[in-house]
Amino acid sequence: MRHCSRVSGLLALGLASSCAALDAFPGAEGFGAQAVGGRGGSVYVVTNLNDTGDGSFRDAVSESNRIVVFAVGGVIEIDDRIVVSSDITIAGQTAPGDGITVYGNGLSYSNADNTITRYIRYRMGRGGDSGKDGITIADGANMIFDHVSVSWGRDETFSINGDVSNVTIQDSIIAQGLQTHSCGGLMQTTGGLSILRTLYADNKTRNPKVKGVNDFTNNVVYNWGGGGAYIEGDSSEVSEVNIVGNAFISGPSTTVSPFTRGNQNFNAYVADNYYDPDQDGTLNGWVLSVDTDSYTDIVFKDAAFDYPAVTTLMNSTDALAYVMANAGASLVRDSVDTNLVAEVASYGTLGALISDEDEVGGPGTLAGGEAPTDTDGDGMPDEYETANGLDPEVDDAMVIASNGYGYIENYINSLV
């Protein structure tokens, strides 16, 4: 798989065929941009909000090579953790009404190679397994999370560890890790991880804690607690990271500066990071100077590491506004994300670290909506098929269109 943007100079020389990899979807960026998901497999339509059984989300992701779409919207309450298989596309944006929240326990994406997850909320909660994360990845490659809202992890909220490579988390929200651990998450991998335009909020610590190969660009970290915001993994392994165009805004729980720890194995290119520490309700911070003389905990690099670049690099304050408007499962923001973004918009006066999701009203309610008619059951509504010259009475979801995506992918990509 290649990062085509990096060989654009060669394209002009007629080497286009060397750049065959297709992005997971238009707008996919970073190390995980070329995840294939369930392309070429079959469509699974989630038809109920049940924890288990035919038509459930758990059943949908239990086998590989599927593109998962939703004919229902609402809260899916789960008891046991859900294990996501490899080669899966989860298209939360297809759900009618207010979309989908999976609530009650967390999900494992360990070895869920080649997965695409979009526009869905994973809210673990006090009832989830003790010592487990909202989302865990231990080993695996080629995954992209886009507009995903994750909260209420009992251990970490979103944690990556082990032999993991080529992962992107973009336009997402990682928030409210439950006390007493109250963690955003470890992001520890040597194989490449991009965290882009994502909001970390209301975690005491590890927002995130980073080790290895990491690109941290255009994110917002709000109301971290006494453990710190961006923590430089203090390990014996070499870390090489870019930290560019992020905004760090203190909230009521914040007592320490945004960057902590590190050692001489931690190599960072650091530029344009905004910091507003005074919790006074107005955005009146400044761009941190890169003070290589007084901050000697890490090794500052003069140039960015050559990682897959974002299409549009924003400056830190533009990134703040963008993340507030777009991050998370934002087709419809639920009460949780709405409150989180309102906290950020308070610029320091609202926000808390929580021990139980009941303190913030739980997952709330979601309108179920009504799925459009899909006569052939191929995941594409009749109306869409007719409007796009497809046959609403033939299952043609996985036929590959001239742009390289399956018909069903062109449908799900058209929704956002």
Ligand X SMILES: *[C@@H]1O[C@H](CO)[C@@H](O)[C@H](O)[C@H]1NC(C)=O
Nearer to ligand X, 2 or 297 (CB): 2
Q: Which of 89, 207, 246, 253 binds ligand X (CB under 6 A)?
A: 253
d(CA 154, CA 150): 12
CA–CA separation, 174 and 122 (whole Å): 10
357-386 residues in contact with ligand X (CB under 6 A) are none
Based on CB atoms, which residue is closest to ligand X, 142 or 188?
A: 142
- Choose, by CB under 6 A, the member of 117, 142, 330, 346 that binds ligand X: 142
Residue 48 as a binder of ligand X (CB under 6 A): the answer is yes
CA distance 251 to 248: 10
Residues 330-359 that bind ligand X (CB under 6 A): 352-353
Q: How far is the CB of 280 from ligand X (least distance, A)?
A: 18
DSSP-derived pairing of the beta strands 286-287 and 274-276: antiparallel
Token match 């109301």: residue? Answer: 223
71 Cβ neighbours under 8 A, 6+ residues apart: 45, 46, 47, 96, 371, 374
CB-wise, 19 or 287, nearer to ligand X?
287
Q: How far is CA 85 from CA 108, 121, 143, 303, in A?
A: 9, 18, 12, 38
> What torsion, rounded to 10 degrees, do the Cα atoms 230, 233, 239, 241 define?
0
CA dihedral 81, 206, 320, 265 (to 10 degrees): -120
Output 240 or 385, the one with its CB closest to ligand X.
240
Binding mask 276-315 for ligand X (x = CB under 6 A): -----------x---------------------------x
- CA angle, 157 then 327 then 206, to 5°: 30
In eight-state DSSP terms, residue 388 is T
How far is residue 129's CA from residue 220's CA, in Å, rounded to a whole number?
28
Measured between alpha carbons, how far is 203 from 133 in angstroms, rounded to an integer? 13
Kindly give, in sequence order, each residue whose CB lies less than 8 Å from that of residue 229, ignoring residues fewer than 6 positions away.
200, 207, 221, 248, 258, 259, 260
Write down the least CB distance from residue 152 to ligand X, Å. Answer: 15
* Number of chain positions touching ligand X (CB under 6 A): 26
Whose CB is nearest to ligand X? 53
Closer to ligand X by CB, 345 or 352: give it: 352
> 270, 296 in Cβ contact below 8 A?
no
Among residues 41, 104, 212, 225, the one that binds ligand X under rule CB under 6 A? 225
Nearer to ligand X, 77 or 396 (CB): 77
Which residue in the set 5, 7, 23, 50 belongs to the binding site for ligand X (CB under 6 A)? 50
The one among 8, 17, 130, 180 contacting ligand X by CB under 6 A: 180
Is residue 63 part of the contact set for ligand X (CB under 6 A)? no
Q: How far apart are CA 148 and CA 374, in angstroms?
A: 26
Minimum Å gap between C-beta 319 and ligand X is 9
Q: Which is nearer to ligand X, 50 or 111 (CB)?
A: 50
Q: Is 5 an interacting residue with respect to ligand X (CB under 6 A)?
A: no
With CB under 6 A as the contact rule, the residue among 23, 129, 318, 376 that binds ligand X is 318
- How many other C-beta atoms lie within 10 A of the C-beta of residue 414? 12
Q: How far is the CB of 158 from ligand X (least distance, A)?
A: 19
Is 206 catalytic? The answer is: yes
Question: Largest alpha-carbon pair distance within the chain?
Answer: 69
217 touching ligand X, by CB under 6 A: no
Q: Output 75 or 398, the one with its CB closest to ligand X.
A: 75
HSE-CB for 164 with a 13 A CA cutoff: 28
For residue 226, state whether it binds ligand X (rule: CB under 6 A). yes
User: Is 165 one of the binding residues for ligand X (CB under 6 A)?
Assistant: yes
Place of tokens 């009521």: 252
User: Do residues 30 and 242 touch, judged by C-beta distance below 8 A?
Assistant: no
Out of 39, 66, 206, 333, the active site residue is 206
At closest approach, how far in Å is the CB of 165 from ligand X?
4
Is 190 a binding residue for ligand X by CB under 6 A? The answer is: no
**121 Cα distance to chain centroid:** 10
Beta strands 259-261; 247-249: pairing state: unpaired
Site string for ligand X, 98-137 (x = CB under 6 A): ----------------------------------------
Supply the residues annotated as catalytic.
206
Site of interaction with ligand X (CB under 6 A): 1-3, 48, 50, 53-55, 141-142, 165-166, 180, 182, 204, 225-226, 253, 274, 287, 315-318, 352-353
